Amino acid sequence: MRALFALISLSCALLAAAAPYPPVSVSVRAQQVGAHSYYLPGLSGAASLENEGFMSNAGFVVTAEGVVVFDTLGSPSLAWEMLQRIREVTPLPIKRVIVSHYHADHYYGIQVFKDAGAEVWAHVAARDVVGSEDWRLRLEQRKDLLGRWINDATQRFPEPDRWLSGDSDFELGGLHFQIRYVGPAHSQEDLVMFVREDAGLFAGDLIFKGRVPFIGDADSRLWLAALDKLIAFQPRVLVPGHGEVSTDPITDLTLTRDYLRYVRAQMGRAVEAMTPFDEAYAGTNWSKYETMPAFSEANRRNAYNTYLLMEREALAK
């Protein structure tokens, strides 16, 4: 055991010395949440210079044959730090990466794990994301904001090795993994991962714990249906896309569900009454949510996109 520990320590030292990416000053740590499962808790709020883009969670599971990674954080530099945390736990190879969805804070570190030899899986609905106009705009925004870590010299977007078209189960090193397609919800391509032996659910951005969710252009009606699929797992522990790990998953699922329901109800009433959005937004009581992290960054856009969605739903009736 002493020899193994020495080998791991030496490997970590060599990796750190050869770090190919600009360093970050934020603390990237791994927290064990199950017998085999770990997660890296991101900081609160939206991406900023203060948090250096480290504002989402990622995770990994250690099996007897290798490591399965869930999401790769928001820059190659952060992903490199994540790799060091994995190496502090095990010298086993990184076998597979599951990408929950193609939003910058969850997959911009993908190249680090591809270079480490991992096989990358993502849902086929994300196949045309890289290179699209929205993708280019988001990349430029990230470069402007986090240019020290995300720039043309550091950032690459290797294509996944396997595009999933639906659910997929696999076994590795005696552990059983259930990959479930639960989109379109937060994104068109949402994947979650359940680790049977740990009863642990890596939920991606379907769950935002302790902060206002980012709805963006998502279909909140379908998102609510996806939450029912998560509840059906009856997980013992849940790693959200943002916020602390949940050891009371059903309660924490409720926060995201209730927020979505509230925004839909308020904007739906405004659409029915033909109230202009600005007037509807100003007249809505947001007091339950306005002190939560990311409210100022996300809530108005969430409400506006939901208002447009409710208009489309009304026209489709």
Domains defined for the chain, CATH in brackets: 2-208+215-247 (3.60.15.10)
pLDDT at residue 14 in the model: 47
Give the bridge partners for 61, in sequence order. Answer: 37, 68
50-80 pLDDT per residue, tens: 999 999 999 999 999 999 999 999 999 999 9
- Of 227, 179, 220, the residue nearest 206 (C-alpha): 227
The band of 11, judged by pLDDT with boundaries at 50, 70 and 90, is low
34-44 pLDDT per residue, tens: 999 999 999 98
pLDDT at residue 18 in the model: 67
The band of 2, judged by pLDDT with boundaries at 50, 70 and 90, is low
SS3 label, residue 316:
helix
Task: Evaluate if residue 283 carries a pLDDT over 70.
Answer: yes
SS3 label, residue 171:
strand
Task: Evaluate if residue 196 carries a pLDDT over 90.
Answer: yes
**Do 110 and 157 touch, CB atoms closer than 8 A?**
yes
**Do 146 and 52 touch, CB atoms closer than 8 A?**
yes
228-274 pLDDT per residue, tens: 899 999 999 999 999 999 999 988 888 889 999 999 999 999 999 99
Distance CA 314, CA 274 (A): 11
